[in-house]
Structure 1
Amino acid sequence: MIRHEQIEKNSGLMLVLTLVIISIGGLIEIVPLFFINDTIEVVKKEITETSRDANGKRVRTKREVDAIRPYTPLEQLGRNIYIREGCYACHSQQIRPMQDEYLRYGYYSLAAESQFDHPFQWGSKRTGPDLARVGGKYSNRWQSEHLKNPRSVEPKSIMPGYPYLSKNDLYYKDVKSHMKALRITGVPYSSNDEEYKANVERFGANVADLLVIDNAIENLEKQAKDGNYDPGREGISEMAALVAYLQVLGTMYQFKDDDGIEYSKFR
């Protein structure tokens, strides 16, 4: 048996063994990438669409589309603020398949839910609660007040306040460029009719309309106005974008009681 002392004194042997260890580590990191598509669950939902038949009569049809969609322009900029402010340092977005986490946070996270995240926000620390399913759990007003002064709604909270987010206007003039950059990474934002039609087939027309790069600013402004994410604030604030992002987390797919059985094969 080779002693550690012999390896340290023999530079050639140490070099060879170092290369062997690095190669093994590299294979462990690289090989799974060739099977990454097999790790993403197929998550569908049913939608109802209206069309006209040959006689011009309205016909309602149902079909399945992908439940997990890319973020809208407003949600994406809110996500950027989430990352900028370091929220990931205290909040994870990955519910593990354990009974105690299911009881506290809800159904465990699916790989499909992070497929459009660059980078993903799974996190590794929970100074605060997991946020994977926080969307819709609280009102927009609660979220904005909590971000301004956490102790106004949670007296024992140790979270710092972010009141300036409501004072800062959201800069979104470059949102189209941002979406084009994400498109290069594989996020299916559409820049032509062919890509738009593919999104209609994949997500449905309502979602596809939100993913058109050329309409990004109009879609952002409309969502901010309709959503009223920062109540009482005129214009679009950084707070509104961040709340829009938080309110969508975990809401794209509605789990059923038996979904744990269906998706357990991926765990």
Structure 2
Amino acid sequence: MFNFHYRLERNAMGLVLAIVVVASIGGLIEIAPLFTIDETVEDAPDMRVYTPLELAGRNIYIREGCYACHSQMIRTLRDEVERYGPYSLAVESKYDHPMLWGSKRTGPDIARLGGKYSNEWHVAHLYNPRDLVPESKMPAYRWLMRNSLKIGDLGEHLAAMRAVGVPYTDEMIANATADAYGQANPDSTQAAGVTARYGEATNVSLFDGKPETLTEMDAIVAYLQILGRLTDVAHKTEQASVE
């Protein structure tokens, strides 16, 4: 067997062909499950897309490297489910480009963070984590409160997401800037348009506590508050398995 390997290494064409064969076998094993993707990915009729403000917050989350310390995928292990909630389902990430499942947890998994804490808690935590969690290693993100959110190009962001399969409508794209402002200003005339386009359950709130300006803090808190709440299918699946 070893002599065959040595002979193969001395034969350039034979070695190339062997590499191609082995790589093809590995590739086939990885690709084959995709042919049954329609049967393996759960159906979620109530799944909704990110609003422009939430999408902007997700972009800031990526920009600041938050995914390097927080995963967004709860495994099926018992201790994970008991700590974080129902395990993650594939359908919950169908509109995530790129996906942020992650594997490193310097901080806790946040796949089901939405609604767990108040807006005020998130603002205080991002401004100085140690005010709420003294042992936290997370850096402070005070500039999010100072930085005005860039919203003029949000329509282009939604159009780019539609190009990769996210079902944004022409109306959503055309009103992206107004909807971003309206979601963070419940008393504004634009707020009604957000719920009309994205559903009554959309979280329209004064995220950073300051109605006079739209900040990056508004966006990232809006994003954190929707994590695990784009669909309720995981909780329904868990309930069905218990019954």
TM class, shorter-chain normalised? 0.7 to 0.9
1:176 and 1:232 map into 2 onto residues whose CA distance is 24
Q: CA deviation at 1:233?
A: 6.3
Runs of 4+ in structure 1 over 6 Å off = 255-258
What is the RMSD computed on CA atoms of the aligned residues? 2.0
- 8 Å contact 1:180–1:213 — kept in the other structure? yes
After TM superposition, list the pairs within 5 Å mapping 1:232-243 onto structure 2. 232=210, 234-243=212-221
The correspondence for 2:139, drawn from 146, 160, 176, is: 160
Change over 3 Å in CA distance of 1:233–1:108 after alignment to 2 = same
- Structure 2 unaligned segments of length 5 or more: list them: 187-204
After TM superposition, list the pairs within 5 Å mapping 1:42-53 onto structure 2. 42-43=43-44
Name the aligned partner's letter for residue 176 of structure 2: A
Q: Which residue does 2:128 correspond to in 1? A: 149
Name the aligned partner's letter for residue 15 of structure 1: V
Name the aligned partner's letter for residue 231 of structure 1: G
1:147 and 1:180 map into 2 onto residues whose CA distance is 30
1:130 and 1:164 map into 2 onto residues whose CA distance is 24
- 8 Å contact 1:102–1:108 — kept in the other structure? yes
1:165 and 1:21 map into 2 onto residues whose CA distance is 49
- Structure 1 unaligned segments of length 5 or more: list them: 44-65, 193-211
Name the aligned partner's letter for residue 30 of structure 1: I
> After the TM superposition, which of the residue ranges 114-123 and 215-224 deviates more from structure 2?
215-224
Q: CA deviation at 1:112?
A: 1.1
- 8 Å contact 2:144–2:216 — kept in the other structure? yes
After TM superposition, list the pairs within 5 Å mapping 1:181-260 onto structure 2. 181-191=160-170, 212-226=172-186, 227-232=205-210, 234-254=212-232, 259-260=237-238
Q: Output the TM-score relative to the length of structure 2.
A: 0.85
Q: Which residue does 2:21 correspond to in 1? A: 20
Q: Deviations over 1:85-134 (max 9, x none)?
A: 11111101000111100111000011111011111110011111000000
| Structure with higher RCO (Cα < 8 A, 6+ apart) | 2
Q: Which residue does 2:36 correspond to in 1? A: 35
Q: CA deviation at 1:185?
A: 0.6
